[in-house]
Amino acid sequence: MTDMTPIDYRQREYSDAIKAFLARGPRLFINNEWVESSHGATIGVEDPSSGKEITRIADASDRDVDRAVAAARTAFDDGRWTGLAPNARERIIHRFADLLEAHADEFAEIEAIDNGKPKGMAAAVDIPGAISQLRFMAGWASKISGEVIQPYTMPTGTVFGYTLREPVGVCGQIVPWNFPLLMACLKIAPALAAGCTLVLKPAEQTPLTALRLADLVAEAGFPAGVVNIITGYGHTAGDRMVKHPDVDKIAFTGSTEIGKLINRNATDTLKHVTLELGGKSPVVIMPDVNVAEVAPGAAGAIFFNSGQVCVAGSRLFAHRSIFDQVIEGVAATAPFWAPRPSLDAEAHAGPLVSKEQFDRVMGYIEAGKRDGASVAMGGDAPTADGYYVNPTVLVDVNPQMSVVREEIFGPVVVAQRFDDLDEVAKAANDTCFGLGAGVWTRDVATMHKLAAKIKSGTVWGNCHAVIDTALPFGGYKESGIGREQGRAGIEAYLETKSVILQL
Ligand code: ADP
């Protein structure tokens, strides 16, 4: 693979539409209006492909958060959204999805510039995924209903008992930087379908698609105050939402460390909390597979989105009899997954999101080497202005090493051998996380056995990280609390009220 043309790490030129978008002043979206922050402080936003600051966003103050929460509170309490006919809510959410679809190319470019992921990947995965979340949940708006229940201790016909499903109320939604728009829509869609109002805070590193999305809110027909989008830091603006007495629910996706902190901080007001957190997902390759076909799948499981994926297949377990072949097959994908600037049309992977993340990932690689791991692929970073890390495979690892135990959130996989099914199931479960797992085999019985043994919210067979809006998604153990997507996803935004009438 040494005959590759050298990669040009300079970011390509932005389109005029994006340049104009970036030139807007820092604003918050509250009550269907763009407003200034109360204290005028701002946060710089970088393009990770170049490491350069490209715009500044508002750093929401406590007063700004309070203002956004008050807007959502009023909009919830006066029934301007909850009180609409379900089919009216459904139509507005669909219109929102239509508008997003109409601007798909622009959203893909913004996401690429802001997060560093290739524009082609954003266009193929993030934007359609975001639209799909909205469309699937839009339909739920008109399918929420309680049930009539026959009481247990009272004679039939003397009491009429039934349940009502009601929206939880005002939701604070805090999302991370790895799939900014997709995560935002994954949070917004069920809340709106349930009849909730919300304040969304994107990650400070990647706020741009959420801000562009705010432009479409009023046009879609949402009444003022139903969708509020504010930018700011987690420990200030995010924290204020978590502790706010007028916020009824916090939905968070991010690191396990911050998820635990949020869970603690939400206790005083006893909010509903759903948490989608970190992972260290195993990928198990059984000896019966065709290695030439499966190795690229195992590589994609970790190198897609430069490994900045909560379900990234970061622990590879290959059967001893095929281990060397699997590593060779994974290593052969290096040119495909080599990071390039996000607007390079040939890119399949981009830089990491920030300098902080770059340092973190390189620190893990160095720690792995110090602990005795060998580098079978990558292990280094190209000389460039952006935050590029070459896809990396570490072998000769053991379960005590930090590279094996901790979530790296970068393009780094640790590979281990195993001999039998029970042994690999035990090794796969030897982690505090439980988000996803991949199993590659042609044997249906092995597949089902491992699916039952592995403790994680999702198990994939002969694929990895396939996400569908209809299927619930979430974590076992320290990977989270609650489920998103599917029926479970809408349930997480509903209260259940029992009504008992004496006849
Ligand atoms: P990562 O470690 O992947 O950068 P974090 O878990 O730190 O992710 O951040 C995910 C989201 O949580 C971001 O929107 C961030 O601003 C927010 N956040 C960080 N700290 C807090 C906090 N103490 N309270 C509320 N939100 C927070």
Assign 2 a pLDDT band (cuts: 50, 70, 90): very low
Specify the amino acid at residue 453. K
Average pLDDT over residues 36-62: 98
Assign 471 a pLDDT band (cuts: 50, 70, 90): very high
Write the secondary structure of 111-167 as one string of H (helix), E (strand) and C (coil): HHHHHCCCHHHHHHHHHHHHHHHHHHHHHHCCCCCCCEECCCCCCCCCEEEEEEEEE
pLDDT digits 0-9 by tens, 109-119: 999 999 999 99
266 lines ligand 1 (CB under 6 A): no
pLDDT at 59: 98
**DSSP annotation string for 206-249:** S-HHHHHHHHHHHHHTPPTTSEEE----IIIIIHHHHH-TT--E
Assign 5 a pLDDT band (cuts: 50, 70, 90): confident
Mutate to test the pocket of ligand 1, among 178, 258, 407 (most ligand atoms within 8 A of CB): 258
255 lines ligand 1 (CB under 6 A): yes
pLDDT digits 0-9 by tens, 294-316: 999 999 999 999 999 999 999 99
- Distance, CA of 387 to CA of 365 (rounded, Å): 15
Tell me, in angstroms, the distance from the centre of ligand 1 to residue 172's CA: 13
Assign 4 a pLDDT band (cuts: 50, 70, 90): low
pLDDT digits 0-9 by tens, 429-451: 999 999 999 999 999 999 999 99
Catalytic residue list contains 276 = yes
Query: In DSSP terms, which residues pair with 161 in a beta bridge?
Result: 149, 500
Tell me, in angstroms, the distance from the centre of ligand 1 to residue 234's CA: 5
| Atom 11, ligand 1: residue with shortest CA distance | 176
- Distance, CA of 315 to CA of 412 (rounded, Å): 9
- Distance, CA of 479 to CA of 253 (rounded, Å): 10
181 lines ligand 1 (CB under 6 A): no
Catalytic residue list contains 310 = yes
Tell me, in angstroms, the distance from the centre of ligand 1 to residue 419's CA: 40
pLDDT at 124: 98
Contacts of range 378-385, beta carbons closer than 8 Å, 24 or more positions apart? 378/334, 378/411, 382/7, 382/9, 382/339, 384/9, 384/351, 385/9, 385/10, 385/50, 385/51, 385/52
pLDDT at 40: 95
493's CB contacts (< 8 A; 6+ apart) are: 167, 168, 171, 190, 191, 193, 194, 196, 249
- Tokens at residue 181, please? 């728009």
Tell me, in angstroms, the distance from the centre of ligand 1 to residue 21's CA: 25
Whole-model pTM? Answer: 0.97
Does residue 1 surpass a pLDDT of 80?
Answer: no
Average pLDDT over residues 33-50: 98
In what side-by-side order are the strands of the sheet with 315-319?
374-377, 392-395, 412-418, 315-319, 282-285, 436-440, 458-461
Average pLDDT over residues 187-209: 98
Does residue 3 surpass a pLDDT of 80?
Answer: no
| Percent of the chain residues past pLDDT 90, beyond the cut | 99
Average pLDDT over residues 89-104: 98
The SS3 of residue 416 is strand
The SS3 of residue 377 is strand
**Distance, C-alpha 118 to centroid of its chain:** 17
pLDDT digits 0-9 by tens, 371-393: 999 999 999 999 999 999 999 99
Does residue 472 surpass a pLDDT of 70?
Answer: yes
| Percent of the chain residues past pLDDT 70, beyond the cut | 99
Average pLDDT over residues 259-278: 98
The single residue of 171, 185, 196, 310 carrying the catalytic annotation is 310
pLDDT at 184: 98
The single residue of 111, 204, 276, 484 carrying the catalytic annotation is 276
Specify the amino acid at residue 474. G
pLDDT digits 0-9 by tens, 132-178: 999 999 999 999 999 999 999 999 999 999 999 999 999 999 999 99
